[in-house]
Structure 1
Amino acid sequence: MTTVDPHAPVISIRERYRDMVSDRWLGIIAPQPDELLSSWLHRLAYANGVAPRAFARVLGLNPGMWSAALDLRLPADVANLLSANTGIAHNQLAAMTLSHDLPRELLLPLRNNGPQWSSTWLQFCSRCLAEDAQPYFRRRWRLATRLSCIEHGCRLRDRCPSCLGCIAVFDQAELVPQHYCVACGYDLRRAPVPYLSPTARTLDRCIDNFCSLEATAHASFGPLLIRRLLSMPSAAGGYYSTMMLTSLSTSARTYCAEHLSRPSEWPVDDENDRKARRLWHLVPPTSDHCAWIELLANALGRKGGLPGASEVKKPGKKIPYLLGAYARMSPGPGCRLPPELIET
C-alpha cells in the first residue's frame, strides 16, 4: 500500500473549469508501442506540469527508483489511481510492465550507479529517440540480452555519452522531457551510434527472436538456455569471464557477443566442423522455436566446454555456423547477410 503525503503536489482543475471538463488529469497521453511503464509515467508527469521526482509523491510513492520499480510490480492502488485519472485501462497499464512476455532472469537489475563496466537498469537507441514524435523508452531495452535496436540495427547505449551518467529520469527535479540527461542536460537523441559488428548483431537478433517468456516456458530446454545466456561472459572468455551477463554494461556485453560470434575466436575446424558447415541447410526452420532454443543452448555450452542439452550425445554446432544458417533463413527486412557468415 502507498501512503498519502499531505505535502505532495496535486494535479487539479481550477473551479471555474470544472463544468467544462472531467475530473481526470488534463495531460492525458496514450501509451506507445512497447513503451515501458516508467517511460509513460515520466511523459505523463511532464504533460501535467510535474517533474518526475515530484510525481512520485503524487502517486504516494517514495523517491528513488520509484518508476523503475513500478515496471516490475504495479500495486493495485497505484494502478487504480492512474486508471481513474487518465482513463487508461488496467490491462493497458499492465501491458507496459515487465510482468509478462519477457524472461525476468534476463532483465537488467535496478541499478543506476557503479563502475563503467557494470550494468545499469535501462538502455536506449538514440536514433529511435530522435525519430519519436514524443521520445519514449522501450520495454525490450531492459533485457540484458538486447544489444542492438530492432528498427535500426545499431548498438544500444546505457549511459550518457557526455557525462557517462546512467539514465535516471525518475530523479529529474526539473520540468524537462525525459530524453535529456538528468546529470548534465545532454540531449540523448544526439548520442553517437556505437559500432556493432554484423555477426554480433545477428547473434543479438537470433537470441531476441527465440527468448520470449512464452517460448522459453514451453520449451524443455528453455531454462537451460537462460542459464547459458547468463553465463555468456564465461563462454566468451577474457576479462569478464567470471561475471554474469546481467551484471555487465552494454559495451561489456557487446565484447562477449563479439567474441562468441566471430569464427576466428573458435578453434580450428576439424572434419566434423566441416561437415556441419556443409549441412547448415538441415537446421530447422526459424519458426520451430523449441528446436532453435535447444540449438542455441547446445552452441553456448560447446563454447563454454559444457555438456550438450540434448539427450543424444551429439556435439552442438559452433555459434558462427548456427548464425550463418539463421542469417540465411531470417535476414530481416533491409538486412544483408554478414560477410563473416557467408562462408560458414
Structure 2
Amino acid sequence: MTTADAHAPAVSIRERYRDVVSDRWPVTVAPQADELVSSWLHRLAYANGVPPKAFVRVLGLNPGMWSAALDLRLPADIANLLYAKTGVAPDRLAAMTLSQDLPGQLLLPLRYNRDRDSSAWLQFCSRCLTEDAQPYFRRRWRLATRVSCTQHGCRLRDRCPSCHGCIAVFDQAGLVPQHYCVACGYDLRRAPVPYISPTTRTLDRCIDNICSLEAIAHSPFGPMLIRRLLSMPSAAGGYYSTMMLTGLSTAARTYCAERLSSRSEWPVDYATYDEKDRKARRLRHLIPPTSDHCAWIELLANALGRRRGRPVVSEGNEPGIKLLDLLGAYAGMRPGPGRRLVQELIGT
C-alpha cells in the first residue's frame, strides 16, 4: 500500500445501491389491495422481463395453472424464495392467498374451457383494470357468489369478449401485460360493461359482506348458508336449476341471481295498508345491525330457503323473512350511490 492509498478515503456502497449487488431480482413490484398472489406473480415476471409461462421454471414448479394453484396454497419454500428475491414478507404473501378469509366451498374451481355456461377460475371488471396504474386481479373475483364489482356496481366478466376464452395468464409465452387475452391479444380494459339490475347488485353485496370465513366459521348457521348459496340455481329455477353455483359462468350465475331478486318471480302481495304496516314494524324488529354477521347469516339462509319452500334454520318460532324484504332492509341500511333507486325497485 502506498502513502497515497493510506490517506485515501474509505469507499463503501451507498444504501440505494445495495440491492444491485444483492441476490434480489432486478425489479420488485408492490402488492396491491386485495391482489391475488397469481396476479402479483404475473406482474413480477413481466417487470423482470420474463413471460409467465417461463417464470414457472424460475420457481421450480410444473407448468399448467401454476399461478392459480398458488392462490389456494403457497408452499413455505416458495414464499421464502419470493421473500429472498423481492423482500415481500411471507405473511404479506399469505394474505394474498385465498386461504385467509374466503370460504373455500364458494370459490370458483380451477378450470378454463370454452363452454360459455360453465364456470371459469377468474373474473374481472374492465373498469377496475382501466383505472389501475398497473392492472391486477382481485381476490374476491374468485368467489362464485360474486357477480358484480364493489367499486363500480357493474357486472363482472369471466371471458374475453373477443374470443370468449378464459383468463389464462399463466400460459402467456410472450412478454405481454396480464390484462391482454392470451388467446387473441384483446385488451380486457376495453371489454364492454354488462348491465346488472340494482336489486341483483344488492343481493350480491349482501352476500359478499356477510360471507367472510370468520363469520361463517363462528355461526351455527354457516354450513346451511353455504349449502343454500351453492343451491341458488335450484332456488332460482329456470334453465340452470339442476346446476351448482360454482359450476356456472358469471353470466349464468347472474341469471340465477336476477331471478331470485326479481319481484316478478314472487307471488303478488295483495296485503292491505294495515297489513303492510304491521309487516314493516315486524321487519324493523327482526332486522339486526349490519355488524351482526351471525344474525344476517341466519336471516339470509332462511330467506334463500323460503324461495323454494325449504325449512328455516332458526331455532325459534319466528317465521323467516322473504328475500326481497331482506334485500329492501339491507338496501336501506347501506348508504351509497343508487340507494334510492334500489329501494324504489324493491318496494321499500
TM-score (norm 1): 0.91
Map 1:317-332 onto structure 2 (within 5 A).
317-332=321-336
CA–CA distance in 1 between the matches of 2:282 and 2:217? 29
**For residues 189-220 of structure 1, what are the alpha-carbon distances to aligned partners after superposition, in whole Å with 9 as ceiling and x for unaligned?**
00000000000000001111100001111111
For residues 262 and 281 of structure 2, what CA distance do their matches in structure 1 show?
A: 18
The amino acid across from 1:289 in the alignment is H
Query: How far does the alpha carbon of each residue in 1:247-294 deviate from its partner, in whole angstroms, 9 at most, with x for none?
Result: 000000000110111122112336598443453322111111111111
Structure 1 window deviating more from structure 2 (218-227 vs 326-335): it is: 326-335
Q: Hey, what does 1:67 align to over in structure 2? A: 67
Work out whether residues 215 and 289 of structure 1, in 8 Å CA contact, stay in contact via their aligned partners in 2.
Answer: yes
Instruction: Work out which of the two has the higher radius of gyration on C-alpha atoms and give 1 or 2.
Output: 2
Alignment-derived partner of residue 211 in structure 1: 211
Structure 1 residue 281 corresponds to structure 2 residue 287? no
Supply the distance in 1 between the matched residues of 2:153 and 2:113 (Cα, whole angstroms): 27
Evaluate the alpha carbon distance shift between residue 249 and residue 20 of structure 1 in structure 2; reply closer, same or farther with a 3 A threshold. Answer: closer
Q: How many residues were matched structurally?
A: 328
Partner of 2:50: 50
Q: How does 1:166-315 map to 2 (within 5 A)?
A: 166-269=166-269, 274=276, 275-277=278-280, 279-282=282-285, 283-315=287-319
Superposed CA deviations along residues 117-150 of structure 1, whole A, max 9, x for unmatched, are 0100000000000000000000000000011111
Counterpart code for 1:288? D
Identity fraction in percent = 77
The alignment status of 1:343 with 2:347, answered yes or no, reads yes
- Whether contact under 8 Å (1:277, 1:321) holds in the other structure is no
Deviation at 1:60, TM superposition (A): 0.5
Q: Structure 1: which amino acid aligns with 2:175?
A: L
How big is the shift at 1:222?
A: 1.0
Structure 2, unaligned runs of 5 or more = 1-16
Determine the structure 2 residue equivalent to 1:8: none
Paired amino acid for 1:279: R
Q: 2: CA distance between counterparts of 1:20 and 1:38? A: 26
Q: Contact 1:327–1:337 (CA<8 Å) still a contact in 2?
A: no
Give me the whole-angstrom Cα distance separating, in 2, the residues matched to 1:223 and 1:330: 26
1:199-248 CA-to-partner distances (Å, cap 9, x unmatched) read 00000011111000011111111111111000000000011111110000
Give yes or no for contact 1:321–1:341 (8 Å, CA) kept in 2. Answer: no
TM-score (normalizing by structure 2): 0.90
Partner residue, 2:39: 39
Structure 2 counterpart of 1:12:
none
AA matched with 1:104? G
Letter of the 2:117 partner, please give it: W
What SS does structure 1 have at the residue aligned with 2:99? coil
The change in CA–CA distance for 1:57 and 1:302 in structure 2 (over 3 A counts) is: same
Question: What is the CA–CA distance in structure 1 between the aligned matches of 2:137 and 2:186, rounded to whole Å?
Answer: 16
The question of whether the paired residues in 2 share the 8 Å contact of 1:36 and 1:138 is answered with yes
Task: Give the Cα–Cα distance (whole angstroms) in 1 for the partners of residues 19 and 260 of structure 2.
Answer: 64
- The residue type equivalent to 2:284 in the other structure is H
Q: How big is the shift at 1:42?
A: 0.2
1:180 to 1:343, Cα distance in 2 relative to 1, 3 A:
same
Task: Give the CA deviation at 1:76.
Answer: 1.4
CA contact (8 A) 2:288 2:296 kept: yes
Question: How well do the aligned residues superpose, as a CA RMSD in angstroms?
Answer: 1.8
Shift of 1:314: 3.6
Equivalent residues of 2:199, 2:346 under 8 A apart = no
Tell me which residue corresponds to 1:9: none
Change (3 A) 1:321 1:252: same
3-state SS in 1 of match to 2:316:
coil
Deviations 1:281-337 (A, max 9, x none): 221111111111110000000002210010224432111111110001113356444
Retained in 1: the 8 A contact 2:107–2:246? Answer: yes
Aligned to 2:30: 30
> Residue type matched to 1:55 in 2?
F
Partner SS state of residue 209, structure 1: helix
User: 1:35·1:96 contact (CA, 8 Å) conserved in 2?
Assistant: yes
- 2:121 is equivalent to residue 118 of structure 1: no
